[in-house]
Structure 1
Amino acid sequence: METTPELDYSLLMDDLPENGTQRVISVYELYGYFNVVIVSTIFCVIAFLGLTGNTMVFIAVGLSRKLHNITNAFIVNLSICDFLSCTILPFHAVAVIAEDGWPLADWFCSFIASLSIITQTSGILNLTMISLNRYVLITKPRKLYMRVYTHKKVAWMIAFTWLFPFLFLLVPQFFLSGLGYQDFFRICIWNSRHKLALVFQGIGALAFIISTILIIFSYVSIYRFIRRHMRMMANKEGGNDPAASVEIVEEESALNDNKIGTSTKSHRSTKKKTISRKQIEITKNLCLVVVSFFICVLPYTIHLPTGIYDMRGTYLALLFMSHACINPILYAAKHPHFKVIFSCMFRCKYSEIPMPTMGVKKLFRRATSASTYSSTDGRYA
């Protein structure tokens, strides 16, 4: 089958003599109805996996204080982005199935387009924040980390990931009517035919490029730092010289108003290697999250400027959106803390959750009290 030429809408219009209007021929009409079934199904599968996985991330953080640290604040924020992205995918599926245009209210289509723009941009900004956090945590002195990542500053960093796309990408398009339903692709997104569309897409592209540069810089610097220190440790007798150890801040300390207990200080020399190993594992996992993100995003990003508008772009867009359901899978498989807590959740062994929160402790106390009461007078089954 021949590919569709560049998007010349004048070539894709059908005259409707009964009412004298025209409609755009969609990409699904050009390439067959079976693509409607495939695309709508994939939308729903990504939504189900993403909503389930990211909900588990929220629950895991609510169950264990071990996950209450600075890096995981950004991870939870990223999960919120992915969760919101997945909530709108079923509506995209509805739009694909509907043959007579957007079946719901126009304002709702604009809302879906707005949410898509905000969550996708906020996602890459969150990955940048995570990368910079790992960079400062591992390669910089402990005092600098504690000074940079305070409660207030972290709150502003998280707010920035939402305010930037809202103020610079979304608000201007509300006033310029740049959001709505795209007949050719049957999707709610910004209007690519708007005279200022390239301006907003350029702002988004600039944010993506700067974020990519910062992410690459952070992980390359971390890799070089760890390799250099591991070589130093290997050159020492038995690798036990404290001067050669990689000193890494315990992130839980940063959440306690920058106060580090005397027990942590007194055992720092014995805990250094264990902390270092776990933090390196966490960094590897988060680097894998970044790599998977770019694997999903780059093909569509490269394809978009080509001006080739066919089903290839649609399927690459599906790959682009699939990263919203991949991150929880990576946490469950590789993250040393999330993996343990997810395992307890899957096996329903909540008593084995490390450092349970007060809510979990209260639940266990009530369960224990009820069990004890049942065994004494037999009143409860």
Structure 2
Amino acid sequence: MIDLSNTSSMPEDEEEDNLGPRKGLAGFLGTIAVLGFFGNSLVVLAVVLYPKLRTITNVYLTSLACSDILLSLTIPWLIVGLVSPQGWPLSDESCILVAIVRFTCSGSSVWHLVAIGFNRMILITTSSETYRKIYSRANTAIILMVTWLIPFTVIIVPYAIGATELGYDDGPHLCSDIEDRPDGTENLLHTYIAGTFLTCIPLFIVLCVYLRIYVHVRLHVRKQNAWSSGHQKQQQQQQNNAVATVSSTVQDPGLTEKQIKEGTKSSERFSENNAGGAGDQSKAAHENKTKNPTAATNKPPAKKGNDLETRITKNTFYVVVGFLLCVVPYGICVLNRFGPDGTPLGQGFLLFNVCMNPIIYGTKHPHFRAAIRNIFMGRVSGPLATSNSVGPVSQTQGTA
């Protein structure tokens, strides 16, 4: 049984003064919970309704949305402890469960960003055959399991062996890890472990992965520009040779009339080929690709800056940037103890991430934007529903 007289060292009037800011933060967290739950549910619904969205990358995005949904469901329980003037009003076991789910979902969100980053890097920097071998159904399931198992292990193992303690923390008035020991010392083991394995390491990996993607895309664009410049010079040289052939044909009196006509026809054919435009070049490129796959592979493709896969990769990187914009203010508030006393202001910034991802998908992702628009307009079938299979995506189209 909890001794309410010892749950807090604050005087009663000071506790009531802090209750006002805590209620304001509770209202903000309640708004986040509603937006996060319905927004991420909309993302999951879009993947369920539109088979074209069932790509390998979107499997991880859907799992990330499920993690944010669970985290949204823990926020009302956090609000209960936040606005209660007498501590946690329910059983200790329920508070421990809320803390475990909250830490697991928060850590899983970060490791999902790692999985998504690796998926985009392998898709863009390797061949389609390599991509399909790595992201088979079995491997995809294993990677998903790991993204959930790492944060759960980081939380549950130290608690199970008694190295850390979970429950209601009177300082921030949340179901969290308890740092204050009965002897007055602090136990920061959970803070160090969670900060290392659930924040620093995964975010460092994510930044390295997207830096690798950026370098690859930049090199690809340079090669494309160099190839285009060389191709233009080759066309100009062919044109000059044709003009020189016609000039020498006309000026040489020793040539027969038949040779003169052949030289003129050669020049005309070259002019017609140049006037054919992009359509003839595209047709020739297609025929060359069919007859000689190796030569077609050596030819640089279209610029990655305008490629759909690069656009999707940029949007997934926006998710990483959004998380950083939430975790940096959280770290500043925690380390410098900003905000009213007893008010976990940093949690407001950190939990805002649960409703940020659907906003990014709905405004930036080309496929999700169309799917969400169709859902709001009541169209559950349309141009997005093109396939009923779930499998490795195409190297160029990114669909199953």
With normalisation by structure 2, the TM-score equals 0.72
Corresponding position of 1:164? 150
Q: Aligned partners of 2:147, 2:80: CA distance in 1, in Å?
A: 29
Q: Aligned partners of 1:34, 1:308: CA distance in 2, in Å?
A: 16
Corresponding position of 1:332? 362
Structure 1: gaps spanning 5 or more residues:
1-18, 242-264, 360-381
Task: Give the aligned residue type for 1:338.
Answer: F
* Residue 344 (structure 1) shift: 0.4
Q: Aligned partners of 1:65, 1:20: CA distance in 2, in Å?
A: 55
Corresponding position of 2:133? 147
* Residue 185 (structure 1) shift: 1.6
Matches within 5 A, 1:1-381: 21-25=5-9, 29=15, 32-176=18-162, 178-194=165-181, 197-207=187-197, 208-237=199-228, 273=302, 277-306=307-336, 310-311=340-341, 314-355=344-385
- Is the partner of 2:167 in helix, strand or coil? strand
Indicate if the aligned counterparts of 2:334 and 2:346 stay in contact, CA closer than 8 A.
Answer: no
Q: Aligned partners of 1:26, 1:334: CA distance in 2, in Å?
A: 47
Indicate if the aligned counterparts of 1:341 and 1:353 stay in contact, CA closer than 8 A.
Answer: no
- Is the partner of 2:88 in helix, strand or coil? coil
Post-superposition Cα deviations, 1:313-342, rounded to whole Å, max 9, x if no partner, equal 722221011101110110000001111101
* Residue 204 (structure 1) shift: 1.7
Post-superposition Cα deviations, 1:38-66, rounded to whole Å, max 9, x if no partner, equal 11101110000000011111110101111
Q: Aligned partners of 2:383, 2:21: CA distance in 1, in Å?
A: 45
The alpha-carbon distance between structure 1 residues 218 and 53, as it changes in their structure 2 partners (threshold 3 A), is same
Identity %: 27
Q: Aligned partners of 2:51, 2:303: CA distance in 1, in Å?
A: 19
The alpha-carbon distance between structure 1 residues 345 and 274, as it changes in their structure 2 partners (threshold 3 A), is farther
Structure 2: gaps spanning 5 or more residues:
233-288, 390-400
- Is the partner of 1:318 in helix, strand or coil? helix
The alpha-carbon distance between structure 1 residues 67 and 274, as it changes in their structure 2 partners (threshold 3 A), is farther
The alpha-carbon distance between structure 1 residues 357 and 236, as it changes in their structure 2 partners (threshold 3 A), is closer
Task: Report the RMSD for the aligned CA atoms in angstroms.
Answer: 3.1
Indicate if the aligned counterparts of 1:26 and 1:184 stay in contact, CA closer than 8 A.
Answer: no
- Is the partner of 2:385 in helix, strand or coil? coil
Q: Would you say how many aligned residue pairs link Structure 1 and Structure 2?
A: 318
Indicate if the aligned counterparts of 2:30 and 2:75 stay in contact, CA closer than 8 A.
Answer: yes
Q: Identify which of structures 1 and 2 has the higher relative contact order when contacts are C-alpha pairs closer than 8 Å and 6+ apart.
A: 2
- Is the partner of 1:180 in helix, strand or coil? strand
Q: Aligned partners of 1:143, 1:346: CA distance in 2, in Å?
A: 37
Q: Aligned partners of 2:49, 2:230: CA distance in 1, in Å?
A: 37
Task: Give the aligned residue type for 1:178.
Answer: E
Indicate if the aligned counterparts of 1:26 and 1:186 stay in contact, CA closer than 8 A.
Answer: no
Deviates more, 1:86-95 or 1:193-202: 193-202
* Residue 29 (structure 1) shift: 2.4
* Residue 203 (structure 1) shift: 2.0
* Residue 97 (structure 1) shift: 1.5
Post-superposition Cα deviations, 1:103-153, rounded to whole Å, max 9, x if no partner, equal 112111110001011011111111011111111111223333222211111
Q: Return the index of the structure with the highest Cα Rg.
A: 2
Q: Aligned partners of 2:381, 2:346: CA distance in 1, in Å?
A: 43
Q: Aligned partners of 2:63, 2:4: CA distance in 1, in Å?
A: 49
* Residue 350 (structure 1) shift: 2.4
The alpha-carbon distance between structure 1 residues 309 and 44, as it changes in their structure 2 partners (threshold 3 A), is closer
